[in-house]
Amino acid sequence: MLANVNATRMELLRLRKRVALASRGHRLLSEKRDELSRQLIRIAREIQPLRKRVEAELLETCRRFMLARATMEPEATKAALEVPTKKFSLAVKFANIMNVKVPHLSKEMEGEIICYGFATTSGEMDVALLALERAFDNLIELAEKEKQARLLAVELQMTRRRVNVLEHVVIPELHETIRFIYDKLAEAERDNISRLMKITDIIRA
């Protein structure tokens, strides 16, 4: 930067304005970074127990389903689960957290999850499907939170890099350039004064 700089008073003024702008940006981005970190920690704290709960629920569902499938004839399992009656739709809305668009998921379900007769199927299948239905609420909440956390984490990473660049590269370089121009201008001023003094001495002699 120093090689290409024009050591003029105009440039000095322009750079001083840039330093002020960069400092303000740094302060704002630091605040954004802190708030993003706070939000991310809050969401991460919510995710941990939720994920454990969802994993436990899904494990229970799988366990029941495996028991049901093992005790039923393969044809009966196939016939029972071939055509589901439960309809599931997912609506996605976006909320704004520190200028990050995070999704807000809401589900709509209709119909019965138990979609078969009773004579050739196992009761464990009912238990498995009802457990799966119950797990959906937590599963969707988990998906929403994890997506939010991921988006906030990406934004946090970007913001932190911007803050670091401003703090450790842009602002110090601008200060260095300003000092360089200031020195150059001061030297030119001193040259000018000494030249004038020499001319005065010549005239007086």
Task: State the DSSP string of 106-150.
Answer: EEEEES-S--S-SSSS-HHHHHHHHHHHHHHHHHHHHHHHHHHHH
Give the DSSP H/E element, type plus range, for residue 102: strand 100-110
Give the DSSP H/E element, type plus range, for residue 55: helix 9-71
Residue with tokens 């127990």: 49
| Nearest distance, CB of residue 26 and other proteins, angstroms | 54
Which residue number, 39 or 61, has a Cβ lying nearer to other proteins?
Answer: 61
| Nearest distance, CB of residue 75 and other proteins, angstroms | 4
Which residue number, 73 or 176, has a Cβ lying nearer to other proteins?
Answer: 73
Which residue number, 77 or 148, has a Cβ lying nearer to other proteins?
Answer: 77
| Nearest distance, CB of residue 63 and other proteins, angstroms | 6
Do residues 148 and 102 make contact, with C-beta atoms less than 8 angstroms apart? yes
The residues that touch other proteins, with contacts defined as CB under 8 A, are: 62-64, 66-67, 69-71, 73-76, 78-80, 82-83, 85, 112, 114-120, 122-124, 126-127, 130
Which residue number, 129 or 152, has a Cβ lying nearer to other proteins?
Answer: 129
| Nearest distance, CB of residue 121 and other proteins, angstroms | 8
3-class DSSP state for residue 57?
helix
Give the DSSP H/E element, type plus range, for residue 88: strand 87-97
Side-chain-side CA neighbours of 132 within 13 Å: the count stands at: 17
Which residue number, 76 or 149, has a Cβ lying nearer to other proteins?
Answer: 76
| Nearest distance, CB of residue 85 and other proteins, angstroms | 5
